[in-house]
Amino acid sequence: MPLNPSLSKAKDRSSSVLGRPEFLSLNQPLRNSRASRRANHWRTHQCENLPEPESTKERKEPTRLPDEDCMLLNPSFKGIAINSLLAIDICLSKRLGVCVHSSSSWGSVRSMVTLLALTGHGLTWICGTLVCLMQSNTPAGQEVLINLLIALVLDILTVAGVQKLVRRKGPWDMSPGFLDCVALDTYAFPAAHASRAAMVSKFLLSHLVLAVPLRVLLVLWAFLAGVSRVLLGQHHLTDTACGFALGFLHFRLMESVWLSSSACQTLISVGTFSWGSSN
């Protein structure tokens, strides 16, 4: 039976329309479309199972700042006060370091200030006390000198122990000298020269009969010996103030454990006997 001409024309028109590029996907068989979907699903599954690169992990993970770089949102009043006082202490100590270098504002008197600081050094006082003890012939003088020697050793060991615990550096980045290392004075807090000067001056004022001008000079020397280390940039102001306080505590402690004249004579006889037997 012959086909209707109108139906054949409609069929030709529909086939030509489906032959366009934008309709080519409609002409693919259903089996191919299912296979392509399976392939896409398999690729997606494989991509999910692949390990992520390190750079991607680093971008995803937020960087954690160290604790010292983090800012406290609600600092306490005590913390604010302490930090403010420390900042003022550091600023004033740096300003007072006028003899740190020869090119400083007071660099011309740096040698004189260094000599003044040497008068408060531990080795200076220990060597001087030993020389005076060997030259002394009276029991009263030997008693004072032996107790002074014990107080000096106590001061050196106590200050060195506290400095090792605190480990505070000075206001200027300066390494300790040879004499400071020998006397165990390697850190800033507390100031060893200030502690020793306060203890020695109080000791001498209590056990020696001195005229008023000498007493005034002794107190002035103790103050200048402690402040000289601040001028040289070795200590802060708070280090020196705590050193003075610690020196007075050492004096009080030494007064409570004062060795009598008989105990001092026993120590001298033991030392003389051991020295003579070794020779």
- Catalogue the active-site residues: 193, 235
State the alpha helices, DSSP H only, in the chain: 5-18, 30-49, 54-60, 77-96, 110-118, 122-135, 139-166, 178-182, 192-207, 212-231, 237-256, 261-278
Cβ–Cβ under 8 Å, residues 99 and 231: yes
For 63-98, b where at least 16 C-beta lie within 10 A, e where not — what string? eeeeeeeeeeeeeeeeeeeeeeeeeebeeebeebbb
Taking the C-alpha atoms of residue 106 and residue 110, their distance in angstroms, rounded to an integer, is: 7
Give 222: exposed, middle or buried? Use CB within 10 Å, 0-12, 13-18, 19+: buried
